Amino acid sequence: MNHKVWGGLLAAALVISACGTPAPVADQPTAASGGEATAAPSGGEAVELRVWGHQAPAFNAANQAMFDAFQAQNPGVTIKYETFPWDVFIQTIQTSLPAGNTADVILIPGGYTCRYSSGGQLLEVPADVMTLAQAQEIFFAAPLGGQTCDGKLYGFPAEYNLEYGGAYVNPALFEAAGLTYPPQWSNWDAVVSDAKALTQVGSDGVMTVAGMHYTNSDQLFTYFLAGILEQGSDYFAEDGRHFNFNSPEAIATIQKLMDMAQTDGVVDPIIFNAESEWVGESFAQGHNGIGVLGSWYVGDAKIGYPDLTFDYVALPPFIGSEHKFASVGGWGYVVSQSTTNPTMAWKLAAFLGADQANVFAFNSTSATIPAMKAVADDPKLVEAAPFMSAVLPILSAGQYQGNLTDPDQLAYEIVYPTILDAIQGNQTAEEAANSIHEAANAMVDASN
Amino acid sequence: MTTIAQPRPPQRPGVLAARQRRFAIASLSPILLYLGVFSLFPILWAMVLGFFSYTPIRQGSWFLGLGGQNPFIGIDNYIELLTGSGKPAEVFRIAAGNTFLFTALVLPLNLAITLPLAVMLESINERFKTLFRAIYFLPTISSSVALVIIWSYMYAPGWGLLSQIFKLVGLVPPKSWLQDPSADLFGVPLAMACVVIAHVWQDFGYNLVIFVAALQGIPKTLRDAARVDGASPWQEFWLVVVPLLRRTVLLTSVLTVISSLQVFVIFQLLTRGGPQNQTQTMLLSIYENAFRFSNNLGLSAAMSMVLFMIILALTVFQFRLLRTEWEY
């Protein structure tokens, strides 16, 4: 066959492929003008809104109830709710948002909003829906920080991501260890004391029950940052972009995390970590007495382990005298720049994330900490979700974690493995702090 | 009235050739388009991206998003991978060493199991031969995810099957099969050794079937002649069968090396690269930098091109090393 024919076919294939790539975002309407980019559908016209979220039974149950209510209030509107496993969800939004092929409304994880808004892939909240000043009155600063980019509001925080300040406790294990239940810890030493009593080691020397499981990735990262803040220091350098991770406060925090495993022996970090005996499942199976984990797992635990008896209790400040912590923000409702119905999409997003009754329903059903101040102050919330009483008093002590350049890389590739390595006895606290400091700042430099 | 069909005039060679050409184009166009869109274009796109600091969430120029905030940086991505001090580059270099170690362990282990097993299978009754072939091939066609779940239960610390067996026979099992960075087996990190065993168990059925087919293709007369000449069964195997399997060994070696360099699922689900990056592989690094972290597709593309060049070089080397100049 003629070589030109083959060449032509291949060229055609390449051209077709190239045509299939996304239109450059620069040519598309900007976020600021998004509200007027497409006319709203006329009344009564059938509209289908797609909503994306991740697969979490409690979240899905809470959202579905609100979708049903929205559809009842808005005849002609159909909501197509699509959920994905966590990893797939992250990959999907990373590829689909830039491609302009995504859902109208996305329940996006904390810390991701600004990544996409800076690329023009998310719409700014129209002023007639909510202004930033109004949002600051309504929401706590930490979760709102995750939806605010360059002084502009891009979404409604649905929850307050809190990996700090609370822990799951197993009454059976406390009773077996002869400890007071529910625990009333006045300081961190009291927590460690109970954890030591809860620890169980088999005759073969293998730890079967960790007194306190805190060596998970999110927890080590959260308490590392909190430890620095509680001591009155900051993890950002003066320029606000680089990091100050080898300060005396950072080293002291790592040392304390090491001591609890190496000196107090409340956890074996080789058996109990993010890859082996993940804290939530481990707690549900009775493999740890105090599971340090965010309250968001309460909903999943109740669905996944209906017979499990547990409580979610407050933890005292970790290393300082008062609570201080950084939060990734929390899940929030945003509207894609590619939506063809921005008016209806914002109406739905506001219905889900800014309506107090709905936010209350979402937080109480999904067992998530409210980002909305009025919901947190509502006494009915504690009646509906008693475990929240543990963390509600500390919500105002939180701050948004800030621009960490690449939060996932910092948390999961730099901080967590390094601190775990130190806890496992392979490096000193100072070496770990220096290693984190250098790698984190190299990450910032590489992003320039 | 009777109509007599007129014989079709003989076609000129040029007309026939044109028809054949049209038929060939029509037949091959779909698969060529498919390969062009889903194979060739992604490879070329990856080659191009490797020269850019590219992430799709940044605003690039009008031309495929390249340029603008996704600038052309020449071979900087490759220099970073080879000499850079950034965490992704550092982890990638560790991952490259791990990937070679994994391949170096899997290849001989796989061949050492599959070749003798294939010869044994060939020597048994036909009915049992089919049964055992099916049994050995079963893990190969089973879901990798399901197999990893089974192996994760076997490797569970303390209560896992392997630990229980160790205790039953009076041995002390390791504290953790998959997550102890200080544990090793003959100098190989224990976690890596565990993944190698699980992978070989899952994968060896494939090579086994190829070897069985190759053994069936060896002319019986050659083995008969060896026996007539007084060769023992061992001599028959070593001096007649093995040399005649050289092409098959080449094929299975190349396939095993390529698949070992590209193993992903078992590492991702069993160890996620841990402990302390001891089971981090090149493909895991590519995946994490492309999709888990800040979508650094430029660097990931450079990583994938490095992997591509390694596979290409190893394949060419193996072909040269094991090529034969004869047929039977």
Cβ atoms B95, B284 nearer than 8 A: yes
Q: Which amino acid is at B212?
A: V
| Domain positions in chain B | 76-322
Q: Is the CATH code 3.30.70.260 the one for domain A47-161+329-400?
A: no
**Alpha helical stretches, state H, A147-234:** 171-176, 188-198, 217-230
Lowest mean pLDDT among A111-115, A143-147, A175-179, B256-260: A111-115
| Bridge-based pairing state of the strands A288-292 and A398-400 | unpaired
| Bridge-based pairing state of the strands A47-54 and A77-84 | parallel
For residue range A222-237, list pLDDT tens digits in order.
999 999 999 999 999 9
Q: Check pLDDT > 70 for residue B138.
A: yes
Chain B contact probe: residue of A19, A206, A338, A419 with most B CBs at under 10 A: A206
Query: What whole-number distance in Å separates Cα of residue B271 and Cα of residue A297?
Result: 23
- % residues pLDDT > 70 (chain A): 90
Query: What whole-number distance in Å separates Cα of residue B286 and Cα of residue B296?
Result: 9
A13: helix, coil or strand? helix
Q: How far is B293 from chain A (nearest CA, A)?
A: 5
For residue range A330-340, list pLDDT tens digits in order.
899 999 999 99
Query: Given an 8 Å threshold on Cβ–Cβ distance, is A406 in contact with B57?
Result: no
A200 touches chain B (CB under 8 A): no
Q: Check pLDDT > 70 for residue B46.
A: yes
Q: Check pLDDT > 70 for residue B237.
A: yes
For residue range B242-262, list pLDDT tens digits in order.
888 988 998 899 889 999 999
Question: DSSP class of residue B231?
Answer: -
Shortest CA distance from B76: residue in chain A: A446
Write down the mean pLDDT value for chain B: 88
Mean pLDDT of A73-84: 93
Q: How far is A349 from chain B (nearest CA, A)?
A: 22
Q: How far is CA B267 from CA B155, B285, B289, in A?
A: 14, 11, 16
CATH class of the structural domain B76-322: mainly alpha
- What kind of fold does domain A166-326+404-447 have according to CATH? D-Maltodextrin-Binding Protein; domain 2 (3.40.190)
Of A156, A134, A161, A127, nearest in space to A144 by CA? A156
Query: Given an 8 Å threshold on Cβ–Cβ distance, is A421 in contact with B272?
Result: no
pLDDT of residue B11: 61
Q: Check pLDDT > 80 for residue B311.
A: yes
Nearest by CB: A408 against B36, B277, B292: B292
* Sheet containing A288-292, strands listed edge to edge, beginning at the edge strand earlier in sequence: A200-201, A207-213, A288-292, A166-169, A311-314
pLDDT of residue A13: 41
Q: How far is CA A417 from CA A76, A420, A422, B96, B275, in A?
A: 51, 5, 9, 19, 8
Nearest by CB: A21 against B33, B64, B181: B64
Q: pLDDT class for B9, splitting at 50, 70, 90? A: low
Query: Given an 8 Å threshold on Cβ–Cβ distance, is A405 in contact with B158?
Result: no
Q: How far is A40 from chain B (nearest CA, A)?
A: 27
Query: Given an 8 Å threshold on Cβ–Cβ distance, is B276 in contact with A443?
Result: no
What is the radius of gyration, based on Cα positions, of chain B? Answer: 27
Q: From chain B, pick out residues whose CB is under 8 angstroms from the CB of A267.
A: none
* pTM attached to this predicted model: 0.81
Cβ atoms A432, A422 nearer than 8 A: yes
Query: What whole-number distance in Å separates Cα of residue B273 and Cα of residue B215?
Result: 38
Q: From chain B, pick out residues whose CB is under 8 angstroms from the CB of A27.
A: 62
Dihedral sign, Cα of residue A238, residue A240, residue A242, residue A247: positive
Mean pLDDT of A338-347: 94
- Helix (H) or strand (E) holding A168, with range, is strand A166-169
Q: How far is A436 from chain B (nearest CA, A)?
A: 10
Of A280, A305, A447, nearest in space to B86 by CA? A447
Query: Given an 8 Å threshold on Cβ–Cβ distance, is B293 in contact with A16?
Result: no
Which residues belong to CATH 3.40.190.10 in chain A?
A: 47-161+329-400, 166-326+404-447
Q: Which two tokens stand for residue A292?
A: 């340090």
For residue range A3-49, list pLDDT tens digits in order.
444 444 444 444 333 333 333 333 333 333 333 333 344 455 789 99
DSSP string covering A264-329: S----TTTSSSSSS-HHHHHHTT-EEEEE--TTHHHHHHHH-TT---EEEE---SSSSS--EEE--
Higher pLDDT, A180 or A62: A180
The residue behind tokens 């400091």 is: A437
Q: pLDDT class for A329, splitting at 50, 70, 90? A: confident
ipTM score assigned to the predicted complex: 0.77
